[in-house]
Structure 1
Amino acid sequence: MKKLIEESLEKAISYDQYRTLVSDLIEQGKSTGEIQSDDLLNYSILNDKRMNRLDKTIEISENTKNKVKNVKKEQTWLVLTEGWCGDAAQNIPVINKIAEQNSKINLKFVLRDENPELMDQFLTNGGKAIPKLIAIDDESNVLGTWGPRPSEATSMVADYKEKYGKLDPEFKKDLQIWYNKNKGRNTENDLLSLFN
């Protein structure tokens, strides 16, 4: 596993590089990933706009800032993601704002579909759900993971699937409304567990 993590870190990119990659692909009429479709492109365009807005509006609480500033050990947060993923668009700006609070946290990104071996080590209920954050120490040991959704959203998804069997467009719309109202607070609180 350490070798796989080290190989993934070598090709990982920064937050700014990830944002630029997604925007550049959109300008070319593409989404991230090998599979291309109008739907994935449209999701990427929508998510790029969401992330632009969230980058400007997300504010981290003083409690979180204080806890993050107390992190003494160097660590890397490696995030598996794709530009078309709605959950990624809502959560990655929050993750970035938290990581910015302490220079000991190095935030890096890799694309899920270009890193299947890594993704297979961090499945959620057997699925390749993203975003998936892997906290790693300077010796490539896994300190903890987070994702693909904050705990309240995870409960909403589980309850809906239990009742209706699958997620439909109406639920996905409701989930985005929840994200907008929550303003990253649930993600922020869940991520604090990485520091305990």
Structure 2
Amino acid sequence: MDTLEINLPELVNPMTYEQYRALSDELVAQNKTTGSEQSEHRISFTKLNQQRMKRVEKQFVLQPALQELLAQNQRDWKWLVLVEAWCGDGAQILPAIAAIAAASPSIELVVLLRDANPALMDTCLTNGSRSIPKLICVDAKTGERVFTWGPRPTAIQAQVKQLKAEKPEIQHDELVQQVQLWYAKDHSQSLQQDMVQLLQEALQTQGAEV
């Protein structure tokens, strides 16, 4: 029996990154989005996110330090990413995660829609909320979780907290716009810095187990 199914809830509609991109394109063509809430607001964000994903795909450059750590990993991992097409953070993060996973033959990326996988989502809440994207790294052989990351790079989340502290009255739309500007300037660097730290810790654990 697959140990992944023993340690995690059953995965509903798992996709490759290419399949997720195709689904997103199809939904945009149909003026729809993922999930049950087909609001004009979410559909509009889904359209914007198509351009954001294309920009990240074009601009992403793998950091040498992260590339070296990926090469050192001797375990087969599944990277499960919970996301939705309307999620602005997801559009900035998922293409970069896909590029990182593609750089390592030992990593299999599985994209999952949050609302279709509530049992899994509820195992990695953020302050009690179903914030996305979420990356769950699982040992493919044992089914054990290696690490969980998300929903936002540490450095960018720190900027969000600072902005909220300085402007407690800030409106949600203004906050979202500012976060997107930070992502555009960051070029996936903060995400990769987080991944470097997580992989260093994971590799240290692997070494201790040998």
Q: What band does the TM-score fall into relative to the shorter chain?
A: over 0.9
Q: What is the alpha-carbon distance in structure 1 between the residues aligned to residue 169 and residue 150 of structure 2? A: 21
Alignment size in residue pairs: 195
Instruction: Give the match for residue 103 of structure 1.
Output: 105
Matching of residues 156-171 of structure 1 within 5 Å: 156-163=159-166, 164=168, 168-171=172-175
Matching of residues 47-196 of structure 1 within 5 Å: 47-138=49-140, 139-163=142-166, 164=168, 168-195=172-199, 196=201
Q: What is the alpha-carbon distance in structure 2 between the residues aligned to residue 143 and residue 63 of structure 1? A: 20
Give the share of equivalent positions with the same residue, in percent. Answer: 35
Q: State yes or no: 1:13 paired with 2:15.
A: yes
Contact 1:143 1:194 in 2 (8 A): no
Q: TM-score normalised to the size of structure 1? A: 0.93
Relative to 1, partners in 2 of residues 1:167 and 1:124: Cα closer, same or farther, differing over 3 Å? farther
One-letter code aligned to 1:171: L
Shift in Å, 1:96:
1.0
Q: Which runs of 5+ in 2 are unaligned?
A: 202-210
One-letter code aligned to 1:7: E
* More divergent stretch after superposition (37-46 vs 59-68): 59-68
Q: For residues 148-189 of structure 1, what are the alpha-carbon distances to aligned partners after superposition, in whole Å with 9 as ceiling and x for unaligned?
A: 000011112223344516652222111111111110000011
Q: What is the alpha-carbon distance in structure 2 between the residues aligned to residue 95 and residue 113 of structure 1? A: 20
Q: CA RMSD in A?
A: 1.7
Q: What is the alpha-carbon distance in structure 1 between the residues aligned to residue 6 and residue 28 of structure 2? A: 33
Counterpart secondary structure, 1:7: coil
Question: Which structure: larger Rg?
Answer: 2
Q: What is the alpha-carbon distance in structure 2 between the residues aligned to residue 105 and residue 93 of structure 1? A: 15
Relative to 1, partners in 2 of residues 1:170 and 1:143: Cα closer, same or farther, differing over 3 Å? same
